[in-house]
Amino acid sequence: MITRHLRDAIVAGHFAEDEPIRQDDIARQFNVSKIPVREALKRLEAEGLVMFQRNRGAMVTRISEAELAQMFEVRMLLEDKALRLAIPNMTEETFARAESICREFIGEDDVGRWAELNWQLHACLYEPAQRPFLVSLIRSVHDKLERYLRMQMSLSAGKERADHEHREILDACRAGDVERAVKLLDEHIAGVCKTLFEFLPSNH
């Protein structure tokens, strides 16, 4: 429960990067000792969201522009492969579920739900690949990027643009046009990365 609370708070941007996470405050909030708080932070360290520094304790990980660019590059490599493998196995049920997620996504006003619905849509398109390890790797990259994706969607009409691009990718999948679907997916991921860099503070 503490891990989930802290993960959500980090992803939502409630802790600034490089700001120490006060274990005493969290222990008081949950009415527990510092031991479970430290365990939760160790889990988040394994996920790459937190790092421990000497004399400063646990801090939200700062991701540099170069690291962000690499994460988007890895996303593209993994997601292209997943989509290529998935398209031949997609069914009417896949498309119906994807369209239902698209409708929920565009109608949702809670920024906190956008990234989760965005992931649900991508996962829906990759699961027919029948490569659960590949999909879980993609999920772990999404998790590390989630606070940035929220930021990107909150800015620059990112939600409307994402919805339009998702529907284009879906149309190409439905038509069985693998090359077009992968090209649209690449443009979608690269576009998110570009917008994010435009809005990131220059000290990143």
Q: Which CATH class is domain 1-60?
A: mainly alpha
| pLDDT classification of 165: cutoffs 50, 70, 90 | very high
What is the CATH code for 65-199? 1.20.120.530
Q: Mean pLDDT highest for which of 25-34, 71-80, 152-161?
A: 71-80
145 in Cβ contact with 71 (< 8 Å): yes
% of the chain residues with pLDDT over 90:
50
On the question of pLDDT at 98 being above 50, the answer is yes
Average pLDDT over residues 31-38: 92
201: pLDDT strictly greater than 60: no
C-alpha distances out from residue 66 to 40, 134, 165, Å? 28, 23, 25
Identify the pLDDT of residue 203.
41
Give the integer Cα–Cα distance in Å for 6 and 15.
9
**pLDDT confidence of 41, banded at 50, 70, 90?**
very high
Q: Please give the pLDDT value at position 59.
A: 87
Q: Which residues of 35-44 are buried (b: 16+ CB within 10 A; e: fewer)?
A: eebbebbebb
Q: What is the mean pLDDT of residues 141-149?
A: 81
| pLDDT, greater one: 46 or 165 | 165
Residue 109 pLDDT exceeds 90 = no
For the chain, give every residue range classified as CATH 1.10.10.10: 1-60
Query: Where in the chain is CATH 1.20.120.530?
Result: 65-199
